[in-house]
């Protein structure tokens, strides 16, 4: 991979015709190290956020990797590159073939489910394996999230006890519970509230649970969305876990995606045309700007010019290169008022769900990646400003072959 000291270097060479994705693997390292130092359990990486090798490599220092995709390629990607990684297939609805391949070809033993039918599929495709870790996914409120995920997956608190009992009987290894509070969760207490509901269902089911997986949802900083310090999320999870009936013996897991990689990527795009406050770029909704266009989120942007512009900052809208009118981002993106055709702009904090969402629609989507060593965008991993709540150390009696209670 080509590298630059900073994206500004691109102004001095012939930039590719398409957009340039800037990768900053050192930002993944910073985020991964933060989670390793502060999260009181095992941190998996939700590969879907950015399947680029550099991201998994940096997160690879962590215990494990999560494949949240039903496609074999995501499981295979991690399994082949990182043979020692602990893999978990956390998509609650998988094809039979994907389950079978994950289990037989790549040794995956951890599967999420949110229905009895999916449990039956998992048991059938793994030949009735008794050593599975079966993780029951709950539907929890997405109220604290910029993008709630509650509607598609998960059992309700009322439905859960029956499925928990059934899954408990199906495995001699570990039974887990998981949820997702929604991506870009802005309220740390959403985790504690979710854990409270999950706990009620476990008590009602009368089963012992070995894994409490708090999912993803950990936020990044975007314009107009400055989350509370990350340590407040960890504190909320610690408190929620403490209050759970199974806390004495269960393992605590998390599956961050966005929070591990958001700061590690940006896009350098070229202005092809300006019409008033609208900039037509060589990248957009079907390239790396999915969240900016489809979710209408704002992202930090700056003009890359060898000689810095002295013009005032003005709000701009962006249009992508395809013919689709959905290929538009309202922003606003604050850029110097004298910006025009041929200028390069860098759009930051796109490491999560940026290049990962790109398509080849309308003949576009050819994106060159270059590595950069700088750290120009706001970070969640500076000094912690909130007080850390200690989680008492306790003896683990057993995490395997739990007895039914």
| Footprint on this chain of ligand PLP (rule: CB under 6 A) | 46, 49, 68, 90, 149, 180, 183, 215-218, 255-259, 352
* CA gap 99, 368 in Å, rounded: 33
> Among candidates 285, 279, 323, which has minimal Cα distance to 301?
279
If the CB atoms of residues 87 and 328 are measured against ligand PLP, the closer one turns out to be 87
If the CB atoms of residues 216 and 336 are measured against ligand PLP, the closer one turns out to be 216
If the CB atoms of residues 152 and 373 are measured against ligand PLP, the closer one turns out to be 152
- Report whether 269 contacts 367 (CB < 8 A): no
3-state secondary structure of 371: strand
Q: Minimum distance from CB of 104 to ligand PLP (Å)? A: 22
Q: Minimum distance from CB of 212 to ligand PLP (Å)? A: 14
If the CB atoms of residues 31 and 328 are measured against ligand PLP, the closer one turns out to be 31
Q: Minimum distance from CB of 186 to ligand PLP (Å)? A: 12
Q: Minimum distance from CB of 84 to ligand PLP (Å)? A: 21
If the CB atoms of residues 15 and 46 are measured against ligand PLP, the closer one turns out to be 46
* CA gap 249, 402 in Å, rounded: 9
Q: Minimum distance from CB of 6 to ligand PLP (Å)? A: 27
Distances (CA, A) of 270 to 15, 153, 212: 9, 39, 45
Which residue's C-beta sits nearest to ligand PLP? 216
Buried b (16+ CB within 10 A) or exposed e, 216-225: bbbbbbbbee
Q: Minimum distance from CB of 137 to ligand PLP (Å)? A: 7
Which residues share a beta bridge with 22? Answer: 266, 370
DSSP string, 149-169: -TTTS-B-TTTHHHHHHHHHH
If the CB atoms of residues 215 and 265 are measured against ligand PLP, the closer one turns out to be 215
If the CB atoms of residues 233 and 280 are measured against ligand PLP, the closer one turns out to be 233
Q: Residues, the chain, total?
A: 405
If the CB atoms of residues 178 and 372 are measured against ligand PLP, the closer one turns out to be 178
Q: Minimum distance from CB of 241 to ligand PLP (Å)? A: 18
> Among candidates 185, 220, 367, 372, which has minimal Cα distance to 283?
367
Q: Minimum distance from CB of 40 to ligand PLP (Å)? A: 18
DSSP string, 291-353: HHHHS-----EEEE-SS---SPEEEEEEE-SSS-TT-EEEEEEEEETT--TT-EEEE-S-SSS
């Amino acid at each position: 991979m080509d590298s630059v000291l900073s994206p500004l270097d691109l102004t001095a060479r012939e930039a590719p015709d398409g957009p340039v994705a800037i990768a900053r693997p050192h930002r993944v390292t910073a985020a991964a190290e933060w989670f390793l130092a502060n999260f009181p359990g095992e941190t998996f990486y939700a590969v879907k956020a950015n399947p680029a090798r550099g991201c998994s490599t940096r997160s690879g220092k962590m215990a494990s990797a999560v494949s949240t995709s039903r496609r074999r390629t995501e499981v295979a990607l991690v399994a082949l590159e990182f043979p020692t990684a602990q893999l978990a297939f956390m998509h609650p609805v998988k094809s039979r073939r994907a389950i079978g391949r994950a289990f037989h070809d790549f040794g995956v033993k951890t599967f999420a489910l949110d229905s009895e039918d999916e449990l039956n599929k998992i048991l059938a495709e793994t030949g009735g394996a008794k050593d599975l870790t079966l993780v029951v996914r709950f539907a929890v409120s997405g109220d604290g999230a910029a993008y709630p995920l509650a509607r598609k997956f998960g059992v309700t608190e009322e439905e859960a006890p029956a499925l928990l009992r059934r899954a408990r009987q199906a495995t001699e290894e570990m039974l887990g519970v998981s949820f997702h509070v929604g991506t870009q969760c802005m309220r740390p207490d959403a985790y504690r509230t979710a854990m409270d509901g999950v706990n009620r269902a476990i008590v009602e089911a009368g089963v012992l649970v070995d894994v409490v997986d708090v999912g993803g949802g950990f936020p990044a900083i975007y314009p107009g969305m400055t989350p509370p310090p990350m340590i407040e999320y960890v504190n909320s999870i610690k408190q929620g876990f403490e209050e759970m009936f199974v806390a004495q013996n269960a393992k605590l897991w998390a599956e961050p995606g966005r929070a591990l990689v958001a700061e590690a990527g940006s896009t350098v795009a070229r202005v092809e045309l300006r019409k008033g406050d609208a900039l037509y770029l060589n990248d957009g909704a079907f390239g790396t700007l999915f969240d900016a266009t489809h979710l209408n989120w704002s992202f930090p942007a700056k003009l890359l010019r060898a000689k810095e512009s002295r013009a005032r900052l003005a709000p701009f809208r962006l249009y992508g290169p395809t013919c689709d009118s959905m290929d538009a981002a309202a922003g606003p993106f604050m850029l110097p008022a004298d910006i025009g055709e041929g200028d390069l702009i860098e759009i930051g904090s796109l490491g999560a769900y940026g290049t990962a969402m790109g398509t080849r629609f309308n003949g576009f989507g050819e994106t060159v990646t270059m590595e950069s060593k700088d750290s120009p965008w706001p970070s969640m991993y500076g000094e912690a400003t909130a007080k850390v709540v200690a989680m008492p150390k306790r003896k683990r009696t057993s995490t395997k072959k739990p007895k039914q209670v």
